[in-house]
Amino acid sequence: MRKELVALREAMERYGIDIYLVPTGDFHGSEYLHDYFKTRRFVSGFTGSAGTLLVTKDEARLWTDGRYFIQAAMQLEGTGIDLMKDREPGVPSIKEYLEQAFDKISKEKLEDNEQEDSSESGPILGFDGRTLPYETGSEYEELISKYNGSVVSDLDLVGEIWSDRPELKGNKIWELPLSSTGLPHETKISQVRELMEKAGADYHLITTLDDNAWLFNLRGSDVERTPVFFSYTLITPDEVILYCFKDECPAEIIPEGVTVKNYFDSLDILSICMDIEKLPDGASLLMDGKSVPYAIMGAIPDGVNIILDDVIPTSKLKACKNPVEIESTKAAHINDGIAMVNFIYWLKTSIEKEGNAGEAFRVGAPTSDPMTEIGASDYIEKQRASLPGYLDLSFDTISGYMEHGAIVHYGATPETNAKLRPVGFLLVDSGGQYEAGTTDITRTIALGPLTDRMKECYTTVLKGHADLAMAKFSDGTTGIELDKIAKAPLNAYGISYNHGTGHGVGHVLCVHEGPQRINTISEESIIPGMITSNEPGYYPEGEFGIRIENEILCVKCDDQDGSYCFENLTCCPYERDAVIKDMLTDDEIRYIDDYHAWVFDSLKENLKPEVRDWLETVCKPL
């Protein structure tokens, strides 16, 4: 059992907490976190980007989604924490588990007190209300009230036991040029005010980091791999207030007409809470209920009318890229394609020279050896870093050879780092942050001979990828409907994948951006200007992993019927050596040939002769 779990239980006992919830979150509802906020990881040892830990006096359970089932099972072994495979048949949801736990604890306390009407007989649920979204916290509060229980939301118990916790501080904030953003902040604020008026709001609190960065055309590096900075924005009838680490915001980049205040006040209390408490009676305050912290909601005066919207004005506006953003991100993807092609060429030619096809698959190879998972990851990072306008990776590179590729969000470590051999698949999911845009691409690369089954599975995944890329659809089509298109060929072959088919992508912002998604539950319509990923896959555990991912832009089709279709942004060839042509339809073959012709034409002038010759070969018509 992990010592951190033991320490947390001891802290729970000191405060009389029956159940303590440790979410994956920060003060802004972010997906990717500053190290200060990685409390769930500290207690559990599970390093995935999504998960919720619940701890009672005798149980500990961690819920995560299908991307992390294999990884979580490995990392939780021997920790005293049970894995809960979210949304799998027979697995209770967090809410269902809490309901059972509340009922059990309530009965136990009643028996101990020997008085059924005791006001102290209910369970007590604790969490740090600054890191739990209001909608989630209020749902749990309503649930526990049915069992005469209560919520304690001002306890950061993990913080109490984390002696060497990283410091929470800001880094320098900088301005993204209009050549990338396309619109000045004044125009964006006017657009937001128009949508506020339609929503009946005279005040608007923006809690999400990417929305704040987008609104002011500012960027930072407070969160690794994501160019955002810790901030809140309060738009009032008379002013716009930006709360950030003020010392990190140079005076010359402070947007005109914007008041800047410190993120924390002198008592290390979020300054936004101090101002929210002063809102006048009758004011209407618009917020995102899925990201606003439970604690901030507690600071709002009773006389304020609260308007909760899952898609706030900035999210609606930034989801549809303007013409300048689109042209800018197209240039970023061409540059990124150069890095990817150079990487794949290096990988294939270097692995051929290894001559170690008979060497057994193993882990723990020296990190100095370039022909390893980490070596491949380092090489693609260096290729991107050499490009103009490069800022950072857009997420930690996933480089998984053979069975490691079946771990959807695998992260190689010196302990697991596998030696690459000239046989089988290497799955590489990577991306870059550039001043011109954000990229995200996955390629499954053949390092040598493949089995017939590998080729059949790869071609099937490619069929789903191609069918979605070729989709033509009407206004109002949702992510649910598009998800079915990508999965149809896989389902027909008897395989599938346990993750979404597509996520939105920000512009020099979060690599995962809403509100648009392509999955089994997203009812958000996909409309022109939205950028999503297209990434079906297949992951037979213990064998290999396949994922093919492009970023795609929704556009109006050239015909006159008003329909929509997709335009590829990602510029990199598919794995020709894994394709079985006879499994493809004529339309799919035509799509692949046209795509490869575009890739070669777009990249050929920027490659060394030997790389250009290789690319020309792999881009020839099927």
What is residue 341's three-state secondary structure? helix
Average pLDDT of every residue of the chain: 94
How confident is the model at residue 265, as a pLDDT? 85
Q: Phi-psi region for residue 296, left (φ > 0), alpha (ψ -120 to 50) or beta? A: alpha
How confident is the model at residue 559, as a pLDDT? 81
What is residue 24's three-state secondary structure? coil
Query: What phi, psi does 4 have (nearest 5°)?
Result: -65, -35
How confident is the model at residue 67, as a pLDDT? 87
Residue 432: pLDDT above 60?
A: yes
Residue 219: pLDDT above 90?
A: yes
Residues with Cβ within 8 Å of residue 7, at least 6 apart in sequence? 161
How confident is the model at residue 366, as a pLDDT? 43
Residue 121: pLDDT above 80?
A: no
Burial of 285 (0-12, 13-18, 19+ CB in 10 A): buried
How confident is the model at residue 117, as a pLDDT? 52
Query: What phi, psi does 221 have (nearest 5°)?
Result: -145, 35
The greatest distance separating any two alpha carbons of the chain, rounded to the nearest whole angstrom, comes to: 85
Residues with Cβ within 8 Å of residue 540, at least 6 apart in sequence? 406, 457
How confident is the model at residue 430, as a pLDDT? 98
How do beta strands 537-538 and 546-547 pair?
A: antiparallel
How confident is the model at residue 23, as a pLDDT? 97
What is residue 251's three-state secondary structure? helix
Structure confidence by residue, pLDDT tens digits, 123-137: 999 999 999 999 999
For residue 165, the 8-state DSSP code is: P
Residues with Cβ within 8 Å of residue 92, at least 6 apart in sequence? 84, 100
What is residue 563's three-state secondary structure? coil
How confident is the model at residue 370, as a pLDDT? 85
Residue reference for tokens 């339309």: 587
Structure confidence by residue, pLDDT tens digits, 329-357: 999 999 999 999 999 999 999 997 765 44
User: What b-and-e string marks burial along 465-491, b requiring 16 or more CB atoms within 10 Å of the CB?
Assistant: bbbbbebebeeebbbebbbebbbebbe
How confident is the model at residue 114, as a pLDDT? 61
Residue 112: pLDDT above 80?
A: no
Residue 360: pLDDT above 70?
A: no
Query: What is the Cβ-side half-sphere exposure of residue 142, based on CA atoms within 13 angstroms?
Result: 7
Structure confidence by residue, pLDDT tens digits, 180-195: 999 999 999 999 999 9
Structure confidence by residue, pLDDT tens digits, 131-180: 999 999 999 999 999 999 999 999 999 999 999 999 999 999 999 999 99
Burial of 267 (0-12, 13-18, 19+ CB in 10 A): exposed
Residue 119: pLDDT above 60?
A: no
Q: For the chain, what percent of residues have pLDDT higher than 70?
A: 96
How confident is the model at residue 120, as a pLDDT? 59
Q: How many CB atoms lie within 10 A of CB 421?
A: 22
Q: How many CB atoms lie within 10 A of CB 358?
A: 7
How confident is the model at residue 5, as a pLDDT? 97
Residue 115: pLDDT band with limits 50, 70, 90: low
How confident is the model at residue 269, as a pLDDT? 86
Residue 362: pLDDT above 80?
A: no
Give dist(CA 274, CA 381) in Å, integer. 43
How confident is the model at residue 358, as a pLDDT? 38
The stretches of 86-133 forming alpha helices (DSSP H) are 94-113
Q: For the chain, what percent of residues have pLDDT higher than 90?
A: 91
Task: Specify the pTM.
Answer: 0.93
Binning the chain into helix, strand and coil, the percentages to the nearest 5 are: 40, 20, 40
Structure confidence by residue, pLDDT tens digits, 591-608: 999 999 999 999 999 999
Residue 118: pLDDT above 60?
A: no
Structure confidence by residue, pLDDT tens digits, 263-315: 998 777 899 999 999 999 999 999 998 899 999 999 999 999 999 998 999 99
The stretches of 114-182 forming alpha helices (DSSP H) are 134-145, 157-161, 178-181
